[in-house]
């Protein structure tokens, strides 16, 4: 009898990678899809497909609309991992996705998808997802040779940004400081971090591992690439080989050599927690937070208002925040005046201390964007309530309060305070000093902490060896209202990494356009022409921008043809991208061959060509490639 139960097949593409657990595949599969709700609700089974192969099988229990009210036709589901997961994973669904078909959604029947299963049973898929792992934790900042065993255990066991699904596979934890293994533990129980706002962190309870003598002193420096900030690494347990396995004795000298070279003999690479496992718990907490929902109408205004109100109404309790903003330790405050939107300045503060001295601070508050340097310089010229500025009142401190660090050097006179630093200061406030406002203050404190944790998680500098591209993941996981801002955060950090690696002050900037993050480098030539590159989503453009007084500047087809000709004649080497190919190799897609008339252009002054970057390119690969391209472009026409 034909099995006519409906099946929904969803193509999740590059959102999947082989290191994902079943629960992580579930998170990227379940939302948000443009589907017919009646058809979706009738589906007995949901199959997740990457390329054309099934990578997950789920039983949907409930369907719900996307929280993005501007796109009411998208839906997601809640459900469970299918019991016959291994039956489906690896099956080829190519007949359901003809070449060139763009729609990632397919409706089918159980009998039709079962017909695509091979006659021989599929091998158990993703066995690595069930094999034991070794967890390597870098404790450099908390390490000291004077730590006793109990203290070393405490600094090692908590709190780390990683998923419980991965943690449950760990049977050995290595504490590493300055590249060397200091202790080895066997975790027995995994615990969620009790601090609200740090829901993506976990820890363990356990004891010393019986294997500790095999590991203490082992050199694992090569597991942490220079510049990588993430202190967590996973290793596949079965691939490790430390010391002789035949029981033969090893001399102390040979043992030392063995340990120093162990990191070179690890047979598979270490890998970092995925972006998905780092942000999923935080996103879930935000979506469940009423205060977060209330802040969506204007997040910068919301947090500026909260900060100003608390400073004005609770100056004693808010002393840690005021000192962080002012940059100095203060005497007790006997009077404080706070202005909101004073001459377009977000928050202006004048606090009078018990010794009569005044602490004066101007705060420009930003979350997902950074003001241009000129805008910050202009703010320095605005009159203040006390009729002064940095020249007339050198004690006035100008602070850029920002969720992310700017990719440029701040103008003279400005200081940066990140939301992470604000969160730390808020955490030092005694809620009991706020009286009846302590509960709502606690909710705001947790929200600020989650935002800081989310910025840290999406910052590509934390995971240099992970793919940089994350548009589909961020848009699908958290909806367009925050998916776009998180992309902006990633591209801003990418721009900062490039500027740091190139050195000097290259004009690498970040932005957001048409639903995509972008990073741009512009190099102005003496005659006013501008050459450079732009990475928007996965499209790497080389561009030329013409000044207004150039003959090719204009909006007509003739002007465009003239721009193309000038670009081809004068800047042909610019469009070769050979320096990028040397780094990315096959990850730089498309051929070098260009047909006549295939230039891209924006009137009246912009002409470009592009090649696509494979989404699997890591942040480190992109930074290296774009840094080389930036340096090469700067010197191309000198």
- Position 511 scores a pLDDT of 84
9-23, 265-279, 317-331: range with highest mean pLDDT: 317-331
Average pLDDT (514-535) is 89
74-78, 367-371, 453-457: range with highest mean pLDDT: 453-457
**H or E, element range at 366:** strand 358-366
Select the more confidently predicted residue: 632 or 258.
632
Fold of 6-125: ph1033 like fold (3.10.590)
> Has residue 121 got a pLDDT over 70?
no
- Position 273 scores a pLDDT of 86
What is the biggest distance separating any 2 CA atoms in the chain, rounded to whole angstroms? 90
Beta bridge partners of 191: 203
CB atoms closer than 10 angstroms to residue 594 = 12
Q: What percent of the chain lies above the pLDDT cut of 70?
A: 88
Task: Tell me the CA distances in angstroms from 246 to 242, 250, 441, one per residue in order.
Answer: 12, 11, 62
- Position 220 scores a pLDDT of 87
The DSSP-derived string for 522-591 is EEE-TTS-EEEEEEETTEEEEEEE--TTSTT-SSSHHHHHHHHHHHHHH-GGGGT-HHHHHHHGGGB-S-
CA 524 to chain CA centroid, Å, is: 31
Average pLDDT (353-379) is 89
Report the mean per-residue pLDDT for the chain: 84
Give residue-wise pLDDT tens across range 556-614.
989 988 998 888 888 888 887 888 988 988 888 876 555 555 788 888 999 988 888 98
- Position 266 scores a pLDDT of 39
- Position 381 scores a pLDDT of 87
CA 312 to chain CA centroid, Å, is: 35
C-alpha dihedral over 98, 99, 101, 105, to 10 degrees?
50
Looking at 222-236, 322-336, 603-617, which range is the least confident one?
A: 222-236
Q: What percent of the chain lies above the pLDDT cut of 90?
A: 39
Provide the pLDDT confidence category of residue 123 given band limits of 50, 70 and 90. Answer: low
Looking at 235-244, 459-468, 618-627, which range is the least confident one?
A: 235-244
Phi-psi region of 343 (alpha: psi -120 to 50; beta: other; left: phi over 0): left
Fold of 472-636: Yope Regulator; Chain: A, (3.30.1460)
> Has residue 254 got a pLDDT over 90?
no
Coil/strand/helix, residue 189: strand
> Has residue 236 got a pLDDT over 90?
no
Q: Which residues contact 99 (CB under 8 A, 6 or more apart)?
A: none
- Position 239 scores a pLDDT of 57
- Helix residue spans in 163-289 (DSSP H): 164-167, 212-215, 252-261, 275-287
Tokens 């935000």 belong to residue: 286
Cα–Cα dist 14/20, whole Å: 12
- Position 478 scores a pLDDT of 53
Provide the pLDDT confidence category of residue 392 given band limits of 50, 70 and 90. Answer: low
> Has residue 388 got a pLDDT over 80?
no
- Position 217 scores a pLDDT of 92
φ, ψ for residue 203, nearest 5 deg: -145, 180
Average pLDDT (138-153) is 93
Residue 519 burial (CB < 10 Å; 0-12/13-18/19+)?
buried
Select the more confidently predicted residue: 122 or 492.
492
Give residue-wise pLDDT tens across range 343-364.
999 999 999 999 888 899 999 9
When computed from its CA atoms, the radius of gyration of the chain, rounded to whole angstroms, is: 28
Q: 3-class secondary structure for 79-110?
A: EEECCCHHHHCCCECHHHCCCCCCCCEEEEEH
pTM for the model stands at 0.74
> Has residue 539 got a pLDDT over 80?
yes
- Position 62 scores a pLDDT of 86
Average pLDDT (302-315) is 95
> Is the separation of the CB atoms in 347 and 338 below 8 Å?
yes
Give residue-wise pLDDT tens across range 51-86.
889 999 999 888 888 776 556 788 888 888 887 888
> Has residue 638 got a pLDDT over 60?
no
CB atoms closer than 10 angstroms to residue 186 = 16
> Has residue 450 got a pLDDT over 90?
yes
The DSSP-derived string for 500-533 is HHH-S---EEEEEETTEEEEEEEEE-TTS-EEEE
- Position 476 scores a pLDDT of 65
> Has residue 268 got a pLDDT over 50?
no
- Position 260 scores a pLDDT of 43
């Amino acid at each position: 009898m034909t099995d006519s139960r409906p099946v929904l097949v969803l193509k999740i593409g590059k959102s999947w990678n082989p290191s994902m657990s079943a629960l992580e595949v579930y998170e990227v599969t379940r939302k948000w899809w443009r589907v017919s709700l009646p058809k979706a609700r009738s589906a007995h089974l949901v199959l997740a497909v990457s390329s054309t192969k099934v990578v997950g099988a789920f039983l949907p229990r409930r369907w719900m609309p996307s929280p993005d009210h501007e796109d009411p036709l998208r839906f997601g589901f809640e459900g469970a991992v299918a019991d016959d997961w291994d039956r489906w994973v690896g099956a080829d669904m190519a007949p359901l996705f003809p070449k060139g078909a763009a729609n990632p959604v397919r409706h089918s029947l159980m009998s039709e998808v079962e017909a695509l299963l091979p006659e021989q049973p599929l091998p158990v898929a993703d066995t690595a997802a069930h094999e034991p792992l070794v967890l390597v934790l870098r404790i450099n900042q908390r390490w000291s040779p004077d730590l006793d065993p109990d203290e070393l255990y405490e600094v090692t066991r908590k709190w780390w940004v990683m998923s419980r699904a991965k943690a449950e596979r760990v049977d050995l934890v290595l504490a590493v400081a300055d590249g060397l293994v200091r202790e080895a533990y066997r975790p027995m129980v995994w615990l969620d971090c009790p601090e609200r706002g740090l829901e993506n962190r976990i820890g363990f309870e356990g004891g010393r591992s019986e294997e500790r003598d095999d590991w203490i002193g082992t050199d694992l420096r090569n597991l942490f690439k220079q510049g990588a900030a993430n202190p967590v690494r996973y290793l596949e347990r079965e691939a490790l080989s430390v010391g002789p396995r035949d029981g033969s004795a090893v001399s102390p000298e040979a043992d030392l050599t063995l340990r120093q070279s162990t990191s070179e003999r690890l047979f598979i690479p270490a890998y970092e927690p995925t972006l998905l496992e780092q942000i999923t718990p935080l996103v879930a907490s935000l979506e469940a937070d009423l205060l977060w929902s209330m802040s969506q109408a204007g997040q910068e205004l919301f947090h500026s208002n909260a900060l100003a109100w608390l400073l004005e109404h609770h100056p004693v309790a808010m002393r840690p925040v005021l000192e962080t903003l002012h940059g100095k330790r203060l005497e007790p405050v006997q009077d404080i005046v706070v202005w909101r939107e004073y001459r377009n300045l977000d928050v202006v503060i004048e606090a009078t201390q018990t010794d009569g001295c005044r602490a004066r601070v101007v705060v420009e508050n930003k979350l997902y964007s950074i003001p241009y340097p000129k805008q910050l310089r202009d703010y320095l010229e605005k009159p203040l309530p006390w009729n002064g500025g940095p020249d007339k009142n050198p004690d006035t401190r100008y602070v850029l309060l920002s969720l992310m660090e700017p990719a440029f050097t701040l103008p003279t006179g400005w200081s940066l305070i990140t939301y992470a630093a604000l969160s730390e200061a808020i955490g030092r406030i005694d809620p009991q000093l706020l009286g009846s406002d302590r509960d709502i203050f606690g909710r705001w404190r947790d929200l600020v902490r989650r935002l800081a944790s989310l910025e840290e998680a999406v910052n590509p500098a934390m995971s240099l060896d992970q793919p940089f591209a994350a548009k589909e993941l961020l848009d699908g996981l958290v909806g367009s209202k925050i998916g776009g801002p998180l992309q902006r955060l990633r591209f801003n950090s990418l721009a900062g990494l490039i500027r740091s690696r190139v050195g000097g002050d290259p004009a690498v900037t970040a932005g957001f356009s048409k639903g995509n993050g972008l990073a741009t480098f512009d190099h102005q030539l003496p005659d006013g022409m501008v050459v450079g590159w732009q990475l928007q989503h996965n499209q790497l453009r080389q561009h030329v921008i013409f000044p207004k007084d150039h003959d090719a500047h204009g909006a007509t087809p003739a002007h465009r043809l003239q721009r193309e000709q000038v670009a081809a004649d004068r800047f042909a080497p610019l469009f070769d991208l050979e320096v990028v190919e040397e780094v990315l190799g096959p990850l730089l897609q498309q051929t070098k061959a260009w047909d006549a008339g295939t230039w891209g252009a924006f009137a009246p002054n912009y002409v470009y060509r592009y090649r696509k970057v494979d989404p699997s390119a890591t942040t480190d690969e992109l930074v290296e490639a774009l840094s080389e391209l930036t340096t090469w472009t700067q010197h191309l026409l000198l």
